[in-house]
Copies of this chain bind each other. A is one copy, B any other.
């Protein structure tokens, strides 16, 4: 294990021509596959390049080092997730509170479950990365979206929007992740999801008009 260099997470060069865009895309895809197959520990620059069908040199033209590669992959994933959450929030704008909660749970749950193996692999891959900034930026972004959505509810009025928002998103995201890590059966997962909804709605009853 080589020592962790003063890691630069910034991409090295941005693709300009089309073939390089394809290359970079292939590298991302290969990274996921290697992560799934070997795990972060055995993910080597060589194995990724090989799987992507390019040479290591090419990889290093776009990513300054191995960690930056995984970092970028996670940034992508979080961005896609944020986009989905934001879309849900827009759709639910002005809806009743209960429906909002249900929609939010649905979106988050689906995003994590659809490709459970990828989700799990990514969770593991970032553990040793300096991704606090990434996580915080993501949290701020989606918190803003959900807070705005809740504010727009036609059947509620909040004394302290940020507080209620934090409570809801923390409980929802935390529960989904925990449920996911437990590897629940389909039935148990469905029950849990319903109970989670129940809980959130019970909490929200405090604010209904």
CB distance from A130 to the nearest CB of B (A): 9
Q: A124-B127, A170-B178, A174-B175 are in contact. Are A41 and B196 (CB under 8 A)?
A: no
With A41-B1, A42-B4, A199-B203 as given contacts, are A179 and B170 in contact (CB-CB < 8 Å)? yes
Q: Is the interface of A mostly helix, strand, loop or mixed?
A: helix
Within 8 Å CB of A174, what residues of B?
171, 173-179
Chain B residue numbers with a CB within 8 Å of A192 are 166-167, 170
List residues of A whose CB falls within 8 A of some B CB: 1-4, 39-42, 44, 123-128, 132, 135-136, 139, 163-164, 166-167, 170-171, 173-179, 181-184, 188, 191-192, 195-196, 198-200, 202-203, 205-206
Residues of chain B contacted by A202 (CB below 8 angstroms)? 199, 202-203, 205
